[in-house]
Amino acid sequence: MKTAKKKRKKTSSRVSVRVKPGSKKPAPLVARGEPPVVRVVNPKGKGKYIIVCDHASNRIPKALNNLGLSKADLKKHIAWDPGTEDIGLHLSRKMDAAAVIAGYSRLVVDLNRGDDHPEIMRPASDHIRVPGNAGLTAAQRRQRMETFFRPYHGEIAKALTRFTGKGIAPALISIHSFTPEMDGFKRPWHIGVLWNRQEKIARALVRNLRRNNPNLVIGENEPYSLKATNFLKNTISTHAERKGLPYVIVEFRQDLVDTKKKAVKWAEIFLDSLLPALSEPGLHTLGRKRS
């Protein structure tokens, strides 16, 4: 779920939250002038779809001093899903759909986890220690949740309500990307489609992708399975599956979408197969039983 080229101070392992003199309350994590924690693009789009990009950015607020990580580490997949913002914005334009885009790194708060998930503020990721996430107090965790997690999910809920309030079931489309190699295993898939209980749309999308692109390797619940225990409470399950709304989760391999030009190319490949999968009669009927 995808950065500015501004110069940053050298990183160190010392990470702290600034406190205003004479005050016990921590200073805001996002200072005035820093980018917003969530961006909503085309909020009044007429398309009955909501695009979400949970991991669109690798930005860390200045107050957290890069979480003690190097600039090189923050470019890695542990910090974000490269390409997803460009893909999400392209789909938003093409589908005339609202897009909800996260403004800060998954290492600050992983927005694609439940609010009580043990991985929501990881002290390590892919064998890399994250010093700024070690030994967080309850107050520090609560401040991050209130600053990043709740506003992001609040905007998704607001975007969905714009349709459900009119008796329309919008389709939630979640955009992610995955690292080409993990723990020595080179992942063969070009693109993956994930699902849990709702299988019909996902299967149709997989069939379309294979028919339209016979040379591609399409993953079915790969490189991750939405049926896995640690994914049972995430953005899609919270906002779509539990509410009976249609959804799609897609994973693009990061080396294929790591520039804007490449991301747009793959967004078009995806879109050609997505739209037919979302064209079944009654898809946007609220309260419809889905499988």
Domains located in the chain, CATH noted: 38-277 (3.40.630.40)
Residue 26 reports pLDDT greater than 80: no
Residue 93 reports pLDDT greater than 70: yes
Residue 90 reports pLDDT greater than 50: yes
pLDDT tens digits for range 253-288:
999 999 999 999 999 999 999 999 999 999 999 999
Greater confidence (161 vs 21) lies with 161
Q: What is the model's pTM? A: 0.90
How long is the chain?
Answer: 291
Residue 205 reports pLDDT greater than 80: yes
In angstroms and rounded to an integer, the radius of gyration of the C-alpha atoms of the chain is 19
Task: Using a pLDDT cut of 70, give the percent of the chain over it.
Answer: 91
Do 252 and 222 contact (CB within 8 A), yes or no? no
Contacts 24+ apart (CB under 8 A), 257-264: 257/82, 257/83, 257/84, 257/86, 257/87, 257/177, 258/82, 258/83, 259/83, 260/86, 262/83, 263/83, 263/86, 263/87, 263/90, 264/86, 264/87, 264/90
Instruction: Say how far apart CA 46 and CA 147 lie, in whole Å.
Output: 29
Buried b (16+ CB within 10 A) or exposed e, 88-100: bbbbbeebebbbb
Greater confidence (4 vs 167) lies with 167
